[in-house]
Amino acid sequence: MKNRPGPRCTALLAATALAATTLTGCGYLPGTGDSATTVTVWLMKDSASDGFVQRFTRQFESEHKNIRLDVRIQEWGGIGAKVTGALRSGDGPDLIEVGNTQVAMYAQSGGLRDLTLESVRDLGSKDWLPGLADPGSINGAQYGIPWYAANRVVIYNKDLFRDAGITEPPRTRAQWITDTEKLNGGGRQGIYLAGQDWYTLSGFIWDEGGELAEEAGGNYTGALDSPAAIRGMDFYKELQGLGRGPKNSDEAHPQQADVFAGGDVAQIVAVPGTAQTILKSNPQLKGRLGFFPIPGRTAARPSAVFTGGSDLIIPDKARHGDAAVTVVEALAGRKWQTELARTMSYVPNKTTLAGVVKGEEGTAAMAAGAARGRATPNSPRWAAVEADNPIKPYMTDVLTGEDAATAARKASKLLTDELVDR
CB 139 within 8 A of CB 131: no
Confidence at residue 34, expressed as pLDDT on a 0 to 100 scale: 57
Higher pLDDT among residues 16 and 196, named by residue: 196
Q: Are residues 250 and 388 in the same domain?
A: yes
Q: Are residues 175 and 78 in the same domain?
A: no
Is residue 40 scored above 60 in pLDDT? yes
Is residue 150 scored above 80 in pLDDT? yes
Q: Does 2 reside within a domain?
A: no
CATH code at position 311: 3.40.190.10
Q: Are residues 321 and 300 in the same domain?
A: no
CB 188 within 8 A of CB 163: yes
Is residue 8 scored above 50 in pLDDT? no
Which runs of consecutive H residues, i.e. helices, occur in 74-127?
79-89, 103-108, 116-121
Q: What is the mean pLDDT of residues 86-97?
A: 94
| Residue 258 binned pLDDT confidence (cut-offs 50, 70, 90) | very high
Helix (H) or strand (E) holding 417: helix 404-419
Q: Does 52 reside within a domain?
A: yes
Q: Does 10 reside within a domain?
A: no
How far apart, in whole angstroms, are the C-alpha atoms of residue 124 and residue 357? 20
Ordered DSSP codes for 232-243: HHHHHHHHHTTS
| Residue 10 binned pLDDT confidence (cut-offs 50, 70, 90) | very low
CB 76 within 8 A of CB 279: no
Q: Are residues 333 and 285 in the same domain?
A: no
Q: Are residues 338 and 412 in the same domain?
A: no
Residue 116, SS3 per DSSP: helix
Is residue 344 scored above 90 in pLDDT? yes
Is residue 25 scored above 50 in pLDDT? no
Give residue-wise pLDDT tens across range 160-210.
999 999 999 999 999 999 999 999 988 899 999 999 999 999 999 999 999
Our count of domains for the chain comes to 2
Which runs of consecutive H residues, i.e. helices, occur in 184-226?
198-207
Q: Name the residue type at position 251.
A: E
* Residue 420: DSSP 8-state: S
Of 374, 392, 407, which one is at a domain's C-terminal end?
374
Q: Are residues 301 and 313 in the same domain?
A: no
| Residue 13 binned pLDDT confidence (cut-offs 50, 70, 90) | very low
Confidence at residue 383, expressed as pLDDT on a 0 to 100 scale: 81
| Residue 9 binned pLDDT confidence (cut-offs 50, 70, 90) | very low
Give residue-wise pLDDT tens across range 349-380.
999 998 998 889 999 999 999 999 999 999 98
Confidence at residue 359, expressed as pLDDT on a 0 to 100 scale: 85
Q: Are residues 121 and 27 in the same domain?
A: yes
How far apart, in whole angstroms, are the C-alpha atoms of residue 161 and residue 212? 33
Give residue-wise pLDDT tens across range 384-415.
898 889 999 999 999 999 999 999 999 999 99
Is residue 110 scored above 90 in pLDDT? no
Q: What is the mean pLDDT of residues 117-136?
A: 85
Q: Does 4 reside within a domain?
A: no
Percent of the chain residues topping a pLDDT of 70: 91
Confidence at residue 401, expressed as pLDDT on a 0 to 100 scale: 97
Q: Name the residue type at position 150.
A: A
How far apart, in whole angstroms, are the C-alpha atoms of residue 28 and residue 37? 12
Q: Are residues 393 and 285 in the same domain?
A: yes
Q: Does 250 reside within a domain?
A: yes
Q: Are residues 170 and 292 in the same domain?
A: yes
How far apart, in whole angstroms, are the C-alpha atoms of residue 345 and residue 342? 5
Cα–Cα nearest to 210, from 16, 357, 404, 7: 404
Largest interatomic CA distance in the chain: 71
Q: Does 239 reside within a domain?
A: yes
How far apart, in whole angstroms, are the C-alpha atoms of residue 164 and residue 321? 58
Cα–Cα nearest to 247, from 194, 204, 201: 194
Confidence at residue 218, expressed as pLDDT on a 0 to 100 scale: 81
How far apart, in whole angstroms, are the C-alpha atoms of residue 270 and residue 274? 7
Q: Does 215 reside within a domain?
A: yes
Confidence at residue 21, expressed as pLDDT on a 0 to 100 scale: 38
Q: Are residues 244 and 312 in the same domain?
A: no
Task: Note down the domain range covering 180.
Answer: 153-305+380-419
Give residue-wise pLDDT tens across range 288-320.
999 999 999 999 999 999 999 999 999 999 999
How far apart, in whole angstroms, are the C-alpha atoms of residue 89 and residue 217? 31
Is residue 3 scored above 50 in pLDDT? no
Q: What is the mean pLDDT of residues 139-149?
A: 94
How far apart, in whole angstroms, are the C-alpha atoms of residue 319 and residue 116? 19
Confidence at residue 28, expressed as pLDDT on a 0 to 100 scale: 36
Q: Are residues 119 and 198 in the same domain?
A: no
Confidence at residue 12, expressed as pLDDT on a 0 to 100 scale: 30
Q: Does 1 reside within a domain?
A: no
Cα–Cα nearest to 214, from 235, 198, 229: 229
Q: Are residues 144 and 158 in the same domain?
A: no
